[in-house]
A and B are shown apart, each in its own frame.
Chain A
């Protein structure tokens, strides 16, 4: 059996990783909640954002944390345009088609990045990458704490945006009843694109918070996106608090299964939870029964 400090450290590490997972899942759940589609290109967009952070640091010397505002705006615009000009028109409003188009997008983006950046794994070397905070017997990586805090802030901002702004109200209206929303003068296509843009913007933030502690290669998004799907399903499709709690939970599960079963099986716990939830409680553990 493992000693208490080891378990505690694994749990804490799981929570910190889980926060980043939650951040990736937030965008996915937002898009699902409004467009009622699963965006299979989510992971590829994350990879793209991570490469953008890498390129900004490597070629322009921009610190990842300072890159947040610009990249967030850029990815909002990218997401907006993708939904408005590619996914929307190409899928003719059919859900099955949307699924296929986002799958196609993910293949294009991922392999486009592979063609440009080659399969090499890259990291950025910041001078604070190894700074730690001491908490009793445990050392916690400072960058991972930033990631944790960032996830909470983004979740709070998203929640505020949805609850308090006119755009947020319009988004919620479209999510509930798009026909009704269009009848009262809301431009549904615009709102779809805004939502998709927001989803991508959260990925830009996630990428900036991830890069100081993680690596990037053209396939890196895949490992995150399956985890993010699990979180979204677990937290209830479309639920922002659900994504946050689900993310933290999954982070801990991964960390503990890794501890007990070894790294190569670390993710299997996640997928088994995923399958079980889908089969037995598809509305999520925290969501209302559909």
Chain B
């Protein structure tokens, strides 16, 4: 029963999303959903490390871009099959996660320092991708249009939506399983109080490394999907600050550390953003300005994000804030 209760909301949401291509035919709407699903997947990666583990990364673009570029280069320059390239992209994200984690967590970087160092890693990769010949430099890389299941390219947007949804579903199940596991409990303990966790036998470094490795893999997978959908990549897309901010926002707005947080957050955010764009017409940047404001409002008034608000409404009580406040 416990199991069913934990997984039921996930299954319902997935079923609803899976039904979208059956009822919606508008390309704009399908594009919107696919894009938001890709962001969701990337944000699930961020959420594991930043939301559950409390290690705020400001440079998740490093994983998104590396996944995308590794997959693109393998397909473009070496003729590797798209699925194999996807696998390699995910693995490269995991490996990069482990490396960045090993370097920065071993050096004891936390809080602002960790945020800064991740940002710097992403920037170094962006500059390199923009300058090196193997990534196509500033011109970027254009994958050849070659529709077919084996090439991970689909004529129908609905089919790609299901593919992306499959990945998001896997992300949800992984997040759920972690939340209920020893690793998940230890990761939360590390977020709440590293010294206390250590005293209870938690190997803090190992737990953080595991988190950033899985986190890097998930976000890299999103990068690969982005590539397969748009078939184009350049340094500003792959390693740009935008994606680092998007994933952080989605996880925070949905409800940091919660399994459904990234999904709910990404849809809320982009829903609000698109609405603003429609209302405000063609003013550039207005949707992003709203995102920033939403982030501040969430931190100030709804630390549990949208899901926290829903929970508060449903239970009719004001739950105490999850932040350490009563100390």
Contact = CB atoms under 8 A, between A and B. Distances in A.
B111 A95 contact: yes
A115 B127 contact: no
A222 B296 contact: no
Contact of A229 (B116, B127, B295, B321): B116
Interface residues of A, number: 49
Nearest to B128: A268
B7 interface: no
A18 B131 CA distance: 24
Nearest to A229: B116
B117 A279 contact: yes
A246 B128 CA distance: 24
A99 B117 contact: no
Interface of B is mostly: helix
A244 to B, nearest CB: 20
B107 A279 contact: yes
A105 interface: yes
Interface in B222-253: 241, 245, 248, 252
A267 interface: yes
B275 interface: no
Contacts of A97: 299, 303, 323
A280 B325 CA distance: 33
B144 interface: no
A119 B109 CA distance: 36
A69 interface: no
A101 B299 contact: yes
A115 B119 CA distance: 25
Contacts of A101: 295-296, 299-300
B58 A103 contact: yes
B116 A108 contact: no
Interface in B272-327: 280, 283-289, 291-296, 299-300, 303, 321, 323-325
Q: Which of B58, B252, B299, B300 has its CB near the most chain A CB atoms (within 10 A)? A: B299
Q: Which of A105, A218, A229, A264 has its CB near the most chain B CB atoms (within 10 A)? A: A264
Contacts of A89: 300
A104 B123 contact: no
B296 A278 contact: no
B318 to A, nearest CB: 15
Contacts of A111: 285-289, 292
Interface string A65-108: 00000000000000000000010011110111101110111111
B103 interface: yes
Contact of B56 (A92, A100, A109, A267): A100
A268 B124 contact: yes
B113 A104 contact: no
Contacts of A105: 292, 296
Contacts of B294: 104
Given A97-B323, A271-B124, A278-B116, A104 B292 contact: yes
21 contacts: A91-B300, A92-B303, A101-B300, A103-B58, A103-B245, A106-B292, A111-B288, A112-B285, A114-B288, A222-B241, A226-B120, A229-B120, A262-B131, A264-B138, A268-B128, A271-B124, A271-B127, A275-B103, A278-B116, A279-B107, A279-B109
Given A86-B296, A103-B245, 7 more contacts: A89-B300, A101-B300, A229-B116, A233-B116, A268-B127, A271-B120, A274-B116
Interface of A: 37-38, 40, 86, 89-92, 94-97, 99-101, 103-115, 118-119, 218, 222, 226, 229-230, 233, 262, 264-265, 267-268, 271-272, 274-275, 278-280, 282
Pairs A-B, 10 closest by C-beta atoms: A107-B292, A114-B285, A111-B285, A90-B300, A104-B295, A108-B292, A111-B289, A104-B296, A38-B112, A111-B288
